[in-house]
Amino acid sequence: MAIALVTGPTAGIGRAFSVALARAGFDLVLVARDETRLTQLAEWLTSEFGVHAEVLVADLADGPQLVKVEERLGRADHPISVLVNNAGLGVKASFAQSDIGDEQQMLDVLVGSVLRTTHAAVPGMVHRGFGVIINVSSIASWITGGTYSAAKAWVTVFSESLAQELAGTGVRVTAVCPGFVHTEFHDRAGMDMSNIPDWMWLEAEQVVEQAMRDVSRNRPISVAGAQYKALSILVRYAPRPLVRFATATGRVSGRFGRR
């Protein structure tokens, strides 16, 4: 049975991906820091869908622990067919007031771990002539929303570039770019989201359903929701001074963190 590895699977988009993949018949490798929640999810997925769910406890901001994930991705005896880089982290404070350790940790999770896990997975996928890499980015990657936007811009461009590089190998790469999604992310980051109108919110399942369709169509970018499809076109092709102005005045929020 094919195996999918999902980082950050215990809530939000990561959990929705885990459920969708288990429903499709994939065995799973679940990667996060919280062993208790990982084990609970693994047991539920096994009971609900009859798949095998392996628990791999690792902090993706910690180099030696990240090596464990890389080693699992590189195994030839039980190869990974689908890699979902979903683990997320946000910094509430502005850059001028933030703690540099928090900034570095966010960069390590959002950029460093995506780089290293993808690099570990790609050679085997290319050799086997099949593989899927899903990197969960954000619509924030197209606006000027601080270091979170900058990190997600890297994820989006990296995914597009790799999709082009691997064309014809049988390996597909898609960057998933959601807007505001109902998850634990904002509460855990201590962000007040009460001023965001209802029409701007998506459910994690919507994001994942759209992502799976776009992967099947070999699309390098996936955006869920009519409102965000329209907004993504606007922010990607509008003059950059206008995008910067809109972001600064709050017309386009920089808080598109999710998970």
Give the DSSP letter string of 127-183.
Answer: HHT-EEEEEE--GGGGS--HHHHHHHHHHHHHHHHHHHHTTTTTEEEEEE---EE-S
Phi and psi (nearest 5°) for 151? -65, -40
Q: Mean pLDDT of all residues in the chain?
A: 91
Considering the candidates 17, 148, 185, 256, report the single residue annotated as catalytic. Answer: 148
Dmax (CA) of the chain: 53
Domains of the chain: 3-248 (3.40.50.720)
Rounded CA gap, 97 and 67, in Å? 32
CB-CB contact of 172 with 132 (8 Å): yes
157-166 tens-digit pLDDT: 999 999 999 9
d(CA 142, CA 156): 9
C-alpha–C-alpha distance, residues 113 and 159, integer Å = 14
pLDDT digits (tens, 9 = 90+) for 206-235: 999 999 999 999 999 999 989 999 988 988
Instruction: Answer whether residue 194 shows pLDDT above 90.
Output: no
pLDDT of 2: 97
Encode pLDDT of 168-183 as tens digits: 999 999 999 999 987 6
* pLDDT band at residue 149 using 50, 70 and 90 as cut-offs: very high
Q: How confident is the model at residue 154 (pLDDT cuts 50, 70, 90)?
A: very high
Catalytic site includes residue 228: no
> What DSSP string runs through 50-85?
---EEEEE--TTSHHHHHHHHHHHH-SSS--SEEEE
pLDDT tens for residues 80-114?
999 999 999 888 888 999 999 999 999 999 999 99
Please give the Cα distance from 163 to 169 (Å, whole number).
Answer: 10
| Whole-number percent of the chain with pLDDT over 90 | 76
Instruction: Check pLDDT > 80 for residue 5.
Output: yes
253: confidence class by pLDDT, cuts 50, 70, 90: very low
